[in-house]
Structure 1
Amino acid sequence: MSNPYFSNSKIFGEQRRPANPYPNRAQAPNQAPGPWGPQPGAGQATAPAPGYDQQFASVEQSFYGPSAGSMQTGRMTYDDVIMKSVGVLAVVVGVAVASWFIVPDAMKVPAMIVGLIGGLVLGLVNAFKREPSPGLILAYAALEGVFLGMISGVFEMLWPGIVVQAVLATFITFGVTLALFKSGKVRVTPKFTRFLMIGMISYGIFCLVNLGIMWFTDFGGAFGVRSMELNVLGMSIPLGVVIGLVAVVLAAMSLIMDFDAIQRGVQSGAPRKYAWAAAFGLTVTLIWLYIEFLRILAILRGD
């Protein structure tokens, strides 16, 4: 059996039935004593009833046949999550590449604003929906793809090669975080959750304040407060790099939360449709991680 519990059980282990369902049929003694004396006809071999082989084969298939898969049970599996995540990310990347090369220069800024606002709205809708909607999740991925295509094109024009660097940094961080989670070295605890919540709220407030400064003042240029310099041991370090590294740590912690939620969902037998919710959560975090690396690299490379 595929279930380890049944395989190792003394009751449901390998020796669950004899090779011959009636091993003593042909070797029966002349008289087999029963609870009320000798049984008539016990010394004679008895032929199986007509149709017995077909009946036993049917019963055997019912009890010892292959285990039901996720299609039969309707439960979420890791394969479901992987396939849905790859699909959603493929939409993001495909739309980003297409919009990068197809959208005319005069429409790039409007397209970026539409992608940013539309992605934010659908992100909030998907985050608060009780039931995952594949259509809305894919629409979110398409809008985010438009935004990422536009902003990546601008950054690549100003700092050639920066997009490849940001993509590599994103997936390396994803791989390291997944390896740490799988090894058991990092686990989600109440303290971990509280720290992440406080950090994300604080970072969100900072981003809103910095956005207001960028829009309504000339302070700091394109990165606002992030462009300020910190003097540490005689070295000048951009504040944006420090804040960006903190944001990367928060995003990595968010990935660990995503992995933990997926693991608990699979172990508890969550419905298969929630693989879409898991794919959505991973996509949101990876996009956040990519944007942070893109900004850190731009600040390091200067104007």
Structure 2
Amino acid sequence: MRLNKTSNPAFTDYFWNDRKSSALKMTITGILFKSLLCIAIIATITVGIWKLNSLGYDIEWFLYGGIISSIIISIVISYKNNWAPFLVPVYAIAKGCFLGGISSFAHAKFPNMPYQAVGVTIITFFTILFLYQTRIIVVTQKLKSIIITAAASIFLVYIISWILSFFGIQSFIGGTSLIAIAFNIIAAIVASLTLLLDFQYIERQKNKAPKNKEWLATWGLLVSLVWLYVEILRLMKKLAIR
């Protein structure tokens, strides 16, 4: 049976076709434990890099190395999903390096802003979870299509902007113009809505998919949460500058 797709790369049909016999199945508790473990890894690495930056060390290598590594790891997991139990913790380390870099730079210019961004991210997560659990927002096929299209479009804009930066061209999403701020607001909203798709997929697969798929579910949640945090931090920085 074909399963519904989501915008999160961890939640695709490819990962769930393998229903090999296993006594242990994916559970919410298992996903929660693994997610908290990976978040703890990210937080620890972030704090460590933050400390290095405060001591005067160059942390740009951590930032760029983290984002490049996380992209490579994501691609590998996409094709080798059985490696997820080993690669997802490494992915968390890479994301910790990336977040440590951008958070340190943000804190240097705007003290305590990263803490505020973390707080907003947590509040947003539980708000979306509440809206999903109470069915105030119902995830229909039409809503899925809108979220997936919006997320793909946003990533495409980021890729084009990144390519243009090599030629010294700043795209419309850079700076603190009203257009750039509006784009960040839209991106943050879309990032939060992808959590709806993740929640639905987990709900449908709990107690059905093999136990090791919990790592893929964890990876999917990390992708959404990190994206949400980054968008919130960017938005707060732009608003603070204005």
Please indicate the TM-score interval, normalised by the length of the shorter structure. Answer: 0.7 to 0.9
Q: What corresponds to 1:296 in structure 2?
A: 235
Partner of 1:108: 59
SS at match of 1:171: helix
> For the residues of structure 2 that align with 1:148 and 1:302, how far apart are their CA atoms?
20
Note the C-alpha offset of 1:185.
1.7
Encode CA deviations 1:126-171: one digit per residue, 9 max, x unaligned.
2343335211100010011011111110111011121011101111
Which residue matches 1:153?
Answer: 104
Flag as ranges the 4+ runs of structure 1 deviating above 4 A. Answer: none
Q: CA RMSD in A?
A: 2.0
Higher-helix-fraction structure: 2
Q: Is the 8 A contact 1:258 1:281 kept in 2?
A: yes
> Residues of 1 paired with 2:119 and 2:83: CA distance?
30
Q: Which residue of 2 aligns with 1:167?
A: 118
The corresponding residue for 1:233 is none
Kindly indicate whether the alpha-carbon contact (under 8 Å) linking 2:176 and 2:239 is maintained by their aligned counterparts in 1: no
User: For structure 2, which runs of at least 5 residues remain unmatched after alignment?
Assistant: 1-21
Query: Which stretch of structure 1 is more off in the superposition, 88-97 or 101-110?
Result: 101-110
Indicate the residue corresponding to 2:174 in structure 1.
226
- TM-score when scaled to structure 1? 0.68
Contact 2:73–2:87 (Cα < 8 Å) also in 1: yes
Task: Please give the alpha-carbon distance, in whole angstroms, between the structure 2 residues aligned to 1:105 and 1:134.
Answer: 35
Query: Is the Cα contact below 8 Å between 1:213 and 1:219 reproduced in 2?
Result: yes
Residue 41 of structure 2 corresponds to 91
In the TM superposition, what are the counterparts of 1:50-61 in structure 2 within 5 Å?
A: none
Q: 1:161 to 1:215 in 2, by over 3 A?
A: farther
Mapped partners of 1:249, 1:228: distance in 2: 18
Amino acid at match of 1:75: K
Length-normalised TM-score, structure 2: 0.84
Q: CA deviation at 1:218?
A: 5.6
Task: From the CA coordinates, give the structure whose radius of gyration is larger.
Answer: 1
Preserved CA contact (<8 Å) 2:114 2:233: yes
Once residues 173 and 95 of structure 1 are traced to their aligned partners in structure 2, the CA distance between those partners, rounded to angstroms, is 23
- The answer to whether residue 222 in structure 2 is matched with residue 254 in structure 1 is no
Residue number in structure 1 paired with 2:10: none
Cα drift, residue 213 of structure 1: 3.4
In 2, Cα distance between equivalents of 1:194 and 1:166: 28
| Matches for 1:130-141 after TM superposition, within 5 Å | 130-141=81-92
Q: Which has the higher contact order (CA 8 A, sep 6+)?
A: 2
Query: Could you list the runs of 5+ residues in structure 1 that have no partner in the other structure?
Result: 1-71, 230-237
